[in-house]
A = this chain, B = another copy of it.
Amino acid sequence: MKSRGMPTIGQRNRLQYIILGLLNQRPQTGYDLAKAFENEIGEFWQAQHSQIYPMLKRLEAAGEISHEDTVTGEKLAKKQYTLTAAGREKLVAWVSQPSPELTPSKDEFILKLYFIKTASDPRIQPMLREQYQLHQSQLHHLQQRQETVFPNQAAIDQAYGHYLILDHAIERESHYVEWLAQYLEK
């Protein structure tokens, strides 16, 4: 007697919790969730719709979410998903659990630098310039979003988590840009 359909223990699969968290904010469709992974939380988690729709079915089968069919216009069918009590419990349990693992991250550009052995290699400066532009424009984009989404304190108080995540993303990009600038020759 071993498996019961559910993974043994030591679960990974954070996607399910993130979806529960998003649905806890308000009922949403799979499409809406996919947009969230492109926008507000895209800096810290990614998922395609092809991963989201099956997960919604799985969560519904597990009784953690439920859906209501609605129609937009003449016949465009939508499924609005909502958390059940069980889903809300599971979400709270996840958030309350410690997160003692350092998140592994991957950075192809930094690795390319790693494989360049000498400081005088002529490839270094163009590479740094390319990344500088890339991260600089990403930083601008994030800063603009912050200005439009959080123009005042009231907006911050209403979506504190969203504010934190954007602030963290901006700080991260900002320091990445500074690090690049440090090695860029004027």
**Which residues of A are in contact with B by a Cβ distance under 8 Å?**
14, 18, 21, 24-25, 40-46, 91, 94-96, 98-119, 123, 127, 130-131, 134-135, 138, 157, 159-162, 164-165, 167-168, 171-172, 175-176, 179, 183
Contact = CB atoms under 8 A, between A and B. Distances in A.
Contacts of A164: 110, 113-114, 183
Given A110-B168, A164-B114, A164-B183, A134 B102 contact: yes
A114 B175 contact: no
Nearest to A118: B160
Nearest to A169: B110
Max count, chain B CB within 10 A of own CB: residue among A45, A91, A111: A111
Nearest to A95: B112
